[in-house]
């Protein structure tokens, strides 16, 4: 093949590949239809721009989430394996190891709607309808304690939702304040006087966050030591204590639970992992999606300071109901059946042994 012919072919290829400017001339493609553009234009902005008409309630969102999201994010948005937790983490952003969730960290509800509708579920993006997306967003708001269980989210009330961390962000000014420092000519030789020297090692730099007692941050309580330190059950001859009321201080644990087998307590710690996404226990425990559970065994219902309870739960406490072992067992087995219309999203523990173990763990931990 001659050199001139090669040049001719190369010139022709270059004209074909020259780009959109020649597309009309070559008769390639067509102008996108408005409905085709609309199908891809799914962005939703914080001011509500881009929202499609629709609505969804918490109960429907619970069902859709269980079907399409729970395999990665857990039934209660607690996160499974390496998939992110979506609920809880309130007031942890200043902790050494913050829990960044939709409730604790995300600044706008529009980000939730946009991401779910655009990218979820994993491997089947854009298969969730507009109404289902509203429902999932409502369920996630409820899971983070931001709305009640009868809440309905729609395009009409969407912008009324203010996320807790909306004021926790600021504009990224690094291009103006930092990038200029790194745009000079780099030093390649003799940049520092003398030879490099190791002055400290990581173990001495205290780079691992620690709890006040010197243990690595997040270390669980020693439940065996807690169980061993728990007083023995009171003699049978002594009269049983009167039920606690809202005005009475709650005992640390009921006598039957106080003498629990350390192995039962250890088993309860494992079962409690199902609860830990919403409830904290032990030293420094704080309210999250659910109340902290320190001292819950024997306490009056609905009295954990700083937590906003549902009306049924608050009314039960006002009526003198106490979290004794029987009430806890009934509630853990069927939260909605035991106390209808309360905020608990968990469906309940199905095994009696698991229920007994969790109560033993709660009684022995977090006094």
Task: Choose between 202 and 283: higher pLDDT.
Answer: 283
Report the distance separating Cα 358 and Cα 264, nearest Å. 8
CA–CA dist 89, 86 (Å, integer): 9
Mention every residue, 6+ apart, whose C-beta is less than 8 A from residue 43.
Answer: 50, 114, 118
Reported confidence tier of residue 9, pLDDT bands at 50, 70, 90: low
Q: Would you state the pLDDT for residue 88?
A: 92
Query: 91-107: b or e for each residue (b if 16 or more CB lie within 10 Å)?
Result: ebeeeeeebebbbbbbe
Partner residues linked to 55 by β-bridges: 154
Longest dimension (CA), the chain: 113
Q: What's the whole-number mean pLDDT along residues 278-294? A: 84
* Span 145-204, pLDDT tens digits: 999 999 999 999 999 999 999 999 988 999 888 888 888 788 888 887 777 777 776 656
pTM: 0.48
Say if residue 253's pLDDT is above 50. Answer: no
Q: Looking at per-residue confidence, does 5 or 186 come out higher? A: 186
Q: Are strands 152-154 and 55-57 parallel, antiparallel or unpaired?
A: antiparallel
Mean pLDDT, the chain, as a whole number? 81
Q: 290-340 pLDDT, tens per residue?
A: 888 988 999 999 999 988 888 889 999 999 999 999 999 999 998 888 998
Assign 279 a pLDDT band (cuts: 50, 70, 90): confident
Choice among 204-218, 223-237, 296-310 with the minimum mean pLDDT: 223-237
Domains annotated on the chain, with CATH: 39-160 (1.10.760.10), 223-228+242-364 (1.10.760.10)
Q: CA nearest 87: which of 108, 69, 105?
A: 105
Structure tokens at 188: 């390649």
Task: Judge whether residue 2 has pLDDT over 60.
Answer: no
Q: Is the pLDDT of residue 123 over 90?
A: no
**SS3 state at 135:** helix
Instruction: Summarize the confidence of residues 82-106 as an average pLDDT.
Output: 93
- Counting every residue written for the chain, the total comes to 367
Please say whether the beta carbons of 105 and 117 come within 8 A.
Answer: no
- The confidence band for 284, taking pLDDT boundaries of 50, 70 and 90, is confident
Peptide bond into 121 cis (omega under 30): yes
Backbone angles phi, psi at 55, to 5 degrees: -160, 165
* The pLDDT of residue 11: 54
140, pLDDT greater than 90 = yes
pLDDT tens, 35-68?
988 878 889 999 999 999 999 999 999 999 999 9
Is 251 a residue whose pLDDT tops 50? Answer: no
């Amino acid at each position: 093949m001659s050199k001139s012919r090669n040049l001719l072919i190369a010139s022709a290829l270059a004209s074909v590949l020259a780009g959109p400017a020649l597309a009309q001339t070559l008769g390639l493609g067509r102008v996108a239809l408005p409905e085709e553009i609309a199908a891809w234009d799914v962005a939703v902005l914080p001011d509500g721009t881009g929202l499609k008409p629709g609505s969804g309630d918490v109960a429907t969102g619970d069902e859709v989430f269980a079907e399409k999201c729970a395999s990665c994010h857990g039934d209660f948005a607690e996160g499974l394996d390496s998939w992110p937790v979506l609920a809880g983490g309130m007031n942890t952003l200043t902790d050494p190891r913050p829990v960044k969730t939709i409730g604790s960290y995300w600044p706008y509800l529009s980000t939730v709607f946009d991401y779910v509708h655009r990218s979820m579920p994993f491997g089947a993006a854009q298969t969730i309808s507009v109404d289902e997306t509203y429902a999932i967003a409502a369920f996630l708001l409820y899971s983070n304690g931001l709305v009640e269980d009868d809440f309905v989210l729609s395009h009409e009330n969407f912008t009324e939702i203010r996320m807790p961390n909306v004021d926790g962000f600021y504009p990224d000014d690094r291009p103006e304040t930092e990038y200029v420092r790194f745009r000079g000519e780099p030093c390649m030789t003799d940049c520092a006087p003398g030879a490099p020297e190791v002055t400290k090692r990581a173990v001495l730099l205290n780079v691992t966050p620690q709890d006040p007692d010197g243990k690595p941050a997040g270390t669980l309580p020693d439940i065996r030591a807690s169980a061993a330190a728990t007083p023995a059950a009171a003699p049978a001859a002594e009269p049983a204590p009167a039920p606690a009321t809202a005005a009475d201080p709650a005992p640390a644990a009921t006598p039957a639970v106080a003498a629990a087998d350390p192995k039962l307590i250890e088993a309860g710690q494992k079962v409690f992992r199902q609860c830990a996404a919403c409830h904290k226990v032990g030293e420094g425990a704080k309210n999250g999606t659910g109340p902290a559970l320190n001292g819950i065994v024997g306490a009056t219902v609905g009295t954990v300071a700083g937590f906003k309870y549902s009306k049924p739960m608050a009314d039960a406490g006002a009526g003198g109901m106490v979290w004794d072992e029987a009430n806890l067992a009934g509630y853990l087995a069927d939260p909605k059946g035991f106390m209808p219309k309360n905020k608990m999203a968990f469906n309940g523990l199905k095994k009696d042994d698991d229920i007994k173990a969790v109560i033993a763990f709660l009684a022995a931990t977090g006094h």
